[in-house]
Amino acid sequence: MTAVRPEGSAAAHAPVRVAPVLLDEVRRRTASGEALPGRDALARMVRDLGGVLGREDLEALATSVRAEVQGAGPLQPLLESPGVTDVLVNGPGDVWVDRGAGLERVDVDVGDAAQVRALAVRLASAGGQRLDDAVPVVDARLPDGTRLHAVLPPVAPGCTVLSLRVHRDVAYTLDELVTGGTVAAPMALVLRGLVAGRANLVVSGATGTGKTTLLSTLLSLVPRTERIVCIEEAGELAPDHPHVVRLLARRPNVEGAGGVDLATLVRQALRMRPDRIVLGECRGAEVREVLTALNTGHEGGCATLHANRVEDVPARLEALGSLAGMSREALAAQAVSALDAVVHLRRDAGVRYVAQVGAVGRDPDGGGLVVRAVLEVGAGGDVRPGPGWPAFAARWGPGRVPLPGGPGESAWMTAGGRA
Ligand SMILES: Nc1ncnc2c1ncn2[C@@H]1O[C@H](COP(=O)(O)OP(=O)(O)OP(=O)(O)O)[C@@H](O)[C@H]1O
Ligand SMILES: [Mg+2]
């Protein structure tokens, strides 16, 4: 193994090189069913190999061996660093992390291209997936929840490309997101009300803006008596809720058999007595099944959607609809009646926040889809009602959803709508 001393690493002990011969021996033992050796067992193994290590070095060695055998090897300390959300390897000496303030290159030795490939293959296998020349791309979830994406050469020319996304096992509460600045307090009231009112929600945003994280938080607000069926590709959603059923899509094998796609799972979910159907990420033709489900009495459903700006949400939905053979008109008609609100996340200077709650409607001129701002966060962080507010407040107002200050704009403003 290689030495890794990332700045600000939270690992209990700075990683050390693990001699290949020792690592091979540990792997041989664990493969035959033995537990991962602790400090004392490692001390014996080092002695057997003719070496002597002090207490501190043994602790560091135990940490590194665990990372090599069970974790992400030289990347493990980065994954454990506070605030790191993404670790990206483009090749030897080309490692990047996102600690919240955008991507920064880090000085981590991941070995040569062969070692990066070996790491990717081992991680994919830990995530229960195959990664080799026949299946050179993998999207998996590691046992600790980390999302792994890897592409082998020659699809990724030169060196395996690894993208790791750190996962939180425990969803943030909405109050935590308010305290952390992700959700403005008045927005939180509306979000809470929309979940309670069984609104059908789309959480939109650019990549890594926190869509899945916010969706987990919102699902944690669903009444304990309801049954949530989550349909995903990588099993990332982690709502704090006692009744969550997960369905994970599966890629076909190399013979092209055994695949189960998201659209199929949405259809199956309808027969599983769901109170809420949740599609972790809507990124293909399954948009048709989701809109159909939400239009046929399945209220309170949610999905995330990739869109760089909230204005792009209609075009994105239309593009996905066209993949499912839906005309623009058919998509618009379905989406308008199926979707109650769009919650849009943005990331500025590393800060993730709910920038807008919008309502899906039709453009009076062309009849196409539009998202009208209901509430938006201004440049100074103030929350203000948008053009869609009056209709939204009338629909979701008192009696259905406890909107801040009542149904009207003026009531909203006097209720402290400005943060
Ligand atoms: N409000 C937040 N505060 C702190 N960290 C957050 C917040 N939201 C998300 N994160 C972290 O940012 C990373 C990206 O979050 P998440 O996976 O939810 O984004 P996403 O928009 O769903 O990404 P993708 O486009 O890849 O699906 C995760 O590591 C997550 O823990
Ligand atoms: Mg996501």
- Higher-confidence residue of 163 and 65: namely 163
- 281-285, 348-352, 395-399, 414-418: which is most confident: 281-285
Are 18 and 1 in contact, with CB atoms under 8 Å apart?
A: yes
Alpha-carbon Rg for the chain in angstroms: 24
Residue type, position 311, single letter:
E
Strand ranges of the sheet holding 103-106, from the earlier edge strand across to the other edge: 103-106, 94-98, 86-91, 161-165, 147-151, 137-141
Task: Tell me the pLDDT of the chain averaged across its residues.
Answer: 87
What's residue 298's pLDDT? 87
CA 308 to CA 284: how far, in whole Å? 17
Give pLDDT, residue 175.
96
pLDDT value of residue 399: 60
Confidence check: pLDDT of 408 > 60: no
| Residue (of 361, 362, 389) closest to 373 by Cα position | 389
Which residue's CA is the nearest one to ligand 1's atom 25? Answer: 207
Grouping H, G, I as helix, E, B as strand and the rest as coil, residue 34 is coil
Dist. CA 191–CA 265, nearest whole Å = 27
Distance from Cα 209 to the centre of ligand 1, integer Å = 6
For residue range 224-236, list pLDDT tens digits in order. Answer: 999 999 999 888 9
The average pLDDT across 132-142 equals 91
Compute, in angstroms, the gap from residue 17 CA to the centroid of ligand 1: 32
Q: Residue 353: pLDDT band by 50, 70, 90 thresholds?
A: very high
Across 96-100, 192-196, 348-352, least confident range: 348-352
- Pick from 78, 79, 85, 232 the residue to mutate for probing ligand 1's pocket: most ligand atoms within 8 Å of its CB: 85
Amino acid present at 390: P
Q: What is the pLDDT of residue 51?
A: 79
Residue whose token pair is 């399945």: 298
**90 burial via Cβ count (<10 Å: 0-12, 13-18, 19+):** middle
- Can you say how many angstroms the Cα of residue 262 is from the centroid of all Cα atoms in its chain? 16
CA atoms within 13 A on the CB side of 98: 18
pTM of the model: 0.83
Pocket around ligand 1 at a 6 A CB cut-off: 85, 165-166, 168, 177, 180, 182, 205, 207-213, 281, 306, 352
Tokens coding 294: 């939400």
pLDDT category of residue 357 using cuts at 50, 70 and 90: very high
Query: Which ligand gives the minimal distance to the CA of 207?
Result: 1
Residue 97 and residue 107 in contact, taking contact as beta carbons nearer than 8 Å: no
Instruction: Point out the ligand nearest to the CA of residue 209.
Output: 1
Amino acid of residue 184: A
Give, as residue ranges, everything with CB less than 5 Å from ion ligand 2: 211-212
Alpha carbon 298 to its chain's center: 24
Beta bridge partners of 344: 204, 356
User: Which residue has 């001390």 as its token pair?
Assistant: 43
Distance 323 CA to ligand 1 centre (A): 27
Cα separation, 169 vs 223, whole angstroms = 20
Q: Residue 417 has what pLDDT?
A: 37
The enclosing H or E element of 188 equals helix 185-196
Q: How far apart are CA 67 and CA 31, in angstroms?
A: 16
Residue 247 in contact with residue 265, Cβ under 8 Å? Answer: yes
Report whether pLDDT(63) > 90.
no
Query: What are the pLDDT digits (tens) for 266-301?
Result: 999 999 999 999 999 999 999 999 999 999 888 999
Reported in sequence order, the residue ranges of 107-210 that DSSP labels E, i.e. its strands, are 137-141, 147-151, 161-165, 201-205
Confidence band for 403, pLDDT divided at 50, 70 and 90 = low
What are the beta bridge partners of residue 370? Answer: 361
User: What pLDDT score does 286 carry?
Assistant: 95
pLDDT band at residue 380 under the 50/70/90 scheme: confident
Alpha carbons 78 and 27: distance in angstroms, whole number:
23
pLDDT above 90 (res 365): no
Residue with tokens 């704090």: 240
Q: Tell whether the torsion through CA atoms of 95, 97, 102 and 107 is positive or negative.
A: negative
Cβ atoms of residues 235 and 141 within 8 Å: yes
User: Which atom, in ligand 1's list, is nearest to the CA of 182?
Assistant: 1
Determine the length of the chain: 419
Please tell me the distance from the alpha carbon of residue 160 to that of residue 154, in angstroms, as a whole number: 9
Cα–Cα dist 108/94, whole Å = 8
Which is more confidently placed, 196 or 395?
196
Is the model's pLDDT at 14 over the cut of 60? no
pLDDT band at 418 (very low <50, low <70, confident <90, very high): very low
Question: Atom of ligand 1 at shortest distance to CA of 353?
Answer: 1
Give, using CA atoms, the residue closest to atom 4 of ligand 1. Answer: 352
